[in-house]
Amino acid sequence: MSHELKTGGDRGYLRIATEEAFATHEQLDAIMDLVRSGHADQGTMSLWGFYGTSPSERTTFIRERLLDLGELRIGAMDAAGIDKAVLAMTSPGVQNLPDDEQARGIARRGNDILKAACEKYPDRFYGMIAVAPQDPAFSVEELKRGKEELGFHGVQINSHIKGHYLDEEQFEPILKACADLDLPLYIHPQGLPDSMIGDMVGAGLDGAIYGFAVETSYHALRLLTTGVFDRYPNLQLMLGHGCEGLPYMLYRLNYMHQAGLRSGRYPRLKPLQHDLFHYMRTNVLATNSGLPFGPAIKTMIEVMGEDRVMYAMDYPYQYLPEEVGMMDDLDITDAQKKKFFQTNAERWFKL
């Protein structure tokens, strides 16, 4: 690396990491109980069967760091030059749990734990609301509490909800509350639903390597193609991991969407007020979590605009300080770099 990593803005910008994960003990216990019961879906069995039990150095580090909202995390941020972190309860949150009462309690108490950490480190930590989207009425109340009482900055939903998607009618109150409360909706991946996973576990491709992007981009496209952003034109959808690949494909996605609309091929797809380029440049925000890769970041900036692309590390799943140095050295303008690392996050999360 060409330079030392320090906090405090010595390079002309603060570094704000926007997709950083924590867990609570009761959340991980509940997920592992589900895995051990054999009743989890295949995606959860694959992911948490591994992350929850593997003795490897990487997974041991991840488990320890997920559960820490104190000095370990602050030390890791200091060592990597990360000034501020936007924190969310790790995927899958509580949305795979079979017991709604348990899910609501873990989400609510997780929000309280995160709030306490944000109060302890007010210039370092910022909160995202955890909800239990399988219970939309509870989720709407928790979104209100999260915004108005806890002072949180968005909500993370971990993609499919037991195989269901946010464009389905039962979830409309959640979308409406995000729009009404001006809370960005971050859709983060989780293990694929049984309806989609096919042989991806057998192929070793179900997780962050590939399956995540397939399922999460599918979720996002369901929202983009069914008029959600005509109903809620101010709603902001956030996607990590290089916007789950969508910017690279946008011309083809839009071309085929328009062709499908013209031919009336799919009854579900109705004409929208705008094309997909418009929604991607008006209602979608991207982070580069897990993808410190110049060509991808430059493509996102070119396709979506320099105001819509933000830095994320994906701590503790991908903690490599040298990747921060690579992002400092990105071949983009100084003004774009300040937007990428700092001011876009301040604007969209209202920090």
User: How many other C-beta atoms are found inside a 10 Å radius of the C-beta of residue 127?
Assistant: 25
Residue 19 vs 167, nearer CB to Ca ion: 19
CB of residue 63 to Ca ion, shortest distance in Å:
15
Q: Which stretch binds Ca ion (CB under 5 A): 1-9, 19-27, 37-45, 267-275?
A: 19-27
Nearer to Ca ion, 18 or 111 (CB): 18
Closer residue to Ca ion (CB): 299 or 318: 318
Among 304, 314, 348, 349, binds Ca ion (CB under 5 A): 314
Query: Least CB distance from residue 289 to Ca ion, whole Å?
Result: 5
The residues in 114-133 that bind Ca ion, with binding defined as CB under 5 A, are none
C-beta of 312: minimal distance to Ca ion in Å?
A: 8
167 is catalytic: no
Maximum distance among all alpha carbons in the chain? 58
What DSSP character marks residue 244?
G
132-145 in b/e burial notation, b at 16+ Cβ within 10 A?
bbbbbebbbebbeb
Amino acid at 141: E
Q: Cβ 351 to Ca ion, closest distance in Å?
A: 19
Spatial contact of 312 and 348, defined as CB atoms under 8 Å apart: no
Q: Which one of 39-47, 255-263, 299-307, 314-322 is the stretch in contact with Ca ion (CB under 5 A)?
A: 314-322
Q: Which is catalytic among the residues 41, 83, 206, 314?
A: 314
Residue pointed to by tokens 């879906």: 41
Q: Which amino acid, one-letter code, is at 46?
A: S
Q: Closer to Ca ion by CB, 244 or 314: give it.
A: 314
Considering the complex, state which of residue 140 and residue 157 has its C-beta at the smaller distance from Ca ion.
Answer: 157
- Distance from first CA to last CA of the chain, Å, rounded? 30
Tell me the site size for Ca ion, rule CB under 5 A.
Answer: 2
Sign of CA dihedral 245, 247, 251, 254: positive
- What lies within 8 Å, CB to CB, of 42 at 6+ separation is 191, 192, 194, 197, 201, 206
Q: What tokens were used for 11?
A: 């390079």
**244 near Ca ion (CB under 5 A):** no
Q: Which is nearer to Ca ion, 1 or 209 (by Cβ)?
A: 209
- Distance, CA of 190 to CA of 90 (rounded, Å): 9
**Which residues have C-beta within 8 Å of that of residue 156, sequence separation ≥ 6?**
88, 89, 93, 128, 129, 130, 186, 187, 188
Candidates 17-25, 131-139, 207-215, 273-281: pick the segment binding Ca ion (CB under 5 A).
17-25
Which of 15-23, 45-53, 135-143, 259-267 is the region at the interface with Ca ion (rule: CB under 5 A)? 15-23
- Closest C-alpha to 106, from 123, 124, 89: 89
Applying CB under 5 A, which part among 34-42, 311-319, 322-330, 340-348 lies near Ca ion?
311-319
Encoded amino acid at 281, one letter: R
- Least Cβ distance, residue 178 to Ca ion (angstroms): 19
DSSP of 315-332: TTTT--HHHHHHHHT-SS
**Interacting residues toward Ca ion by CB under 5 A:** 19, 314
Positions marked catalytic: 314
